[in-house]
Amino acid sequence: MQFRDFVPADLEEVFSFARALLDVPPFDGARRELSRYPRHDLVAKVAVGAEGRIVGFCAATHPYWNAIAMVDYLVVEESHRKRGVGRELLQSVEAELVRAGLRGVCVQTALWNEGAIRFYERLDYERLAVLPEYFGSGNDAVWLHRRFPHGTPRSATTPHPLTVS
């Protein structure tokens, strides 16, 4: 398995296996969003299998005003799940976020997606909140966070960089 940076030419191949996940609400804008990559605020990686096909994709954004990144996508082709591909993709993205000086990363997933929640918790993500109806009526989300080892929490008295005094 090879892990490398996502390039715009990868878009159609990523969508060929991720369509079921990324073409439904709330992800129906994913194609438009991904077609604008690369961007300065994005870290995106693909996993390429032995046969030369893309079998996994992970992307995180990190707005310049925030020290916390957001995992926007983590998708692994069904036939390559439970083999460590998702873990390697996520850790590869996280390593770049650490090099960029970010303090941590967040992700949200559907509350019913217990497998994804366990996956993130095994990788030291902590549950922060449940967001009622985040994905629509009756479809709650769980918000998870992982602080990077070098990161320090923002104190309650430290203003957010966008706070106006």
Q: What are the domain boundaries of the chain? A: 2-147
**Contact predicate 141/135, CB 8 Å:** yes
CATH number for 2-147 (one of 3.40.50.10170, 3.40.630.30, 1.10.3720.10, 3.60.15.10): it is 3.40.630.30
**pLDDT at residue 100, rounded to an integer:** 86
Question: Could you tell me what percent of the chain has a pLDDT over 70?
Answer: 75
Query: Exposure string (b/e) for 144-164, b if CB count within 10 Å is 16 or more?
Result: bbbebeebeeeeeeeeeeeee
Q: Is the pLDDT of residue 93 over 70?
A: yes
9-18, 42-51, 53-62, 91-100: least confidently modelled range: 9-18
**pLDDT at residue 78, rounded to an integer:** 84
Q: What are the tokens at 121?
A: 């918790």
Q: Which residue has the higher pLDDT, 102 or 151?
A: 102
**pLDDT at residue 35, rounded to an integer:** 67
Taking only the tens place, the pLDDT of each residue in 10-26 is 888 887 777 666 555 55
Taking only the tens place, the pLDDT of each residue in 130-143 is 999 988 888 899 99
User: What is the mean pLDDT of the segment spanning 102-113?
Assistant: 93
User: What is the mean pLDDT of the segment spanning 4-10?
Assistant: 89
Rounded to an integer, what distance in angstroms lies between the CA atom of residue 3 and that of residue 106? 22
**Contact predicate 148/103, CB 8 Å:** yes
User: What is the mean pLDDT of the segment spanning 38-45?
Assistant: 78
**pLDDT at residue 21, rounded to an integer:** 60
